[in-house]
Amino acid sequence: SQQGEEDPQALSIQEGENATMNCSYKTSINNLQWYRQNSGRGLVHLILIRSNEREKHSGRLRVTLDTSKKSSSLLITASRAADTASYFCAPVGGNNRLAFGKGNQVVVIP
Amino acid sequence: DAGVTQSPTHLIKTRGQQVTLRCSPKSGHDTVSWYQQALGQGPQFIFQYYEEEERQRGNFPDRFSGHQFPNYSSELNVNALLLGDSALYLCASSFNTGYGANVLTFGAGSRLTVL
């Protein structure tokens, strides 16, 4: 399916550490997007990486994409307590539909 | 610039009732998508509206219907509510660039509880 599958599903780290999340998918994509959700509220777009890109940065975020392995990773550097949230990857295929996985729950301990 | 606004924020219904949820997209956006998010799960795509027509639909029964108005706002209607319909309903808007890289702007959601 097009749906992203995040790994690990739960992550607990100390403030200042880096957090890495992985996402796998099964079909070809046009792009892959990462979103954050705080406490059951709306999702916030973090970053989009196109299928012809391998790496992208935005502030403390670094996203990689390996289309041969159908996988992506999201790295948050120097984590802060405010980074505590659920993170979702959404592969976007030819139907331009975002297919979210169950998400990664990240807890940053002050 | 207002983002996506949804109403109501919370509501409680009983089984068999009908519910209407409303969404106003971000200014400049013309496409509205609806998602259902059960507790502990990721958002599941219900359908998408563009130019007042349903353009795509996810794996949801016909009890779920929608509408988009000329001002791009949208409604989600759910008939014959079931306990399993209890969830956070998220509206997301985007601008149809025609290039497929649709970044979504989400509202805060409407939390529906069915008793």
Cβ pair B104:A102 closer than 8 A? no
CA–CA dist B72, B101 (Å, integer):
20
Banded model confidence at residue B101, pLDDT cuts 50, 70, 90 = low
Per-residue pLDDT at A83: 96
Please check whether residue A60 is in contact with residue A39, taking contact to mean a CB–CB distance below 8 angstroms: no
Pick the residue from chain A with its C-alpha nearest to B108: A42
| pLDDT tens digits along A32-81 | 999 999 987 889 999 999 999 999 999 999 999 999 999 999 999 999 99
Residue among A45, A97, A101 minimizing CB distance to B103: A45
Q: How far is CA A94 from CA A49, A60, B13, B16, B70, in A?
A: 15, 30, 37, 37, 27
Per-residue pLDDT at B10: 96
- Residues on chain B touching A92 (C-beta within 8 angstroms): 100-102
Cβ pair A98:B42 closer than 8 A? no
Banded model confidence at residue A2, pLDDT cuts 50, 70, 90 = low
Domain that holds residue A68: 5-109
Mutate: best of B106, B110, B113, partner A, most A CBs <10 A: B106
CATH architecture of the domain covering B5-114: Sandwich (2.60)
CA–CA dist A61, A56 (Å, integer):
8
Cβ pair A98:B104 closer than 8 A? yes
Query: Domain containing A26 — which CATH number?
Result: 2.60.40.10
The answer to which of A57-66, A93-102, B20-29, B61-70 has the lowest mean pLDDT is: A93-102
pLDDT, mean over chain A: 92
Nearest of A34, A46, A95, A36 to residue B47 by alpha carbon = A95
CB atoms within 10 A of CB B24: 21
One DSSP character per residue, B56-75 reads EE-S--TTEEEEE-TTS-EE
Does the CB of B107 have a partner CB in chain A at under 8 Å? Answer: yes
| pLDDT tens digits along B41-97 | 999 999 999 999 999 999 999 999 999 999 999 999 999 999 999 999 999 999 877
User: How many residues make up chain A in this entry?
Assistant: 110
User: What are the domain boundaries of chain B?
Assistant: 5-114
CA–CA dist B79, B75 (Å, integer):
13
Angle (CA) A99-A102-A106 rounded to 5° is 125
**Which residues, numbered 57 to 86 in chain A, qualify as contacts with chain B under a Cβ-Cβ cut-off of 8 Å?**
none
Domain count, chain A: 1
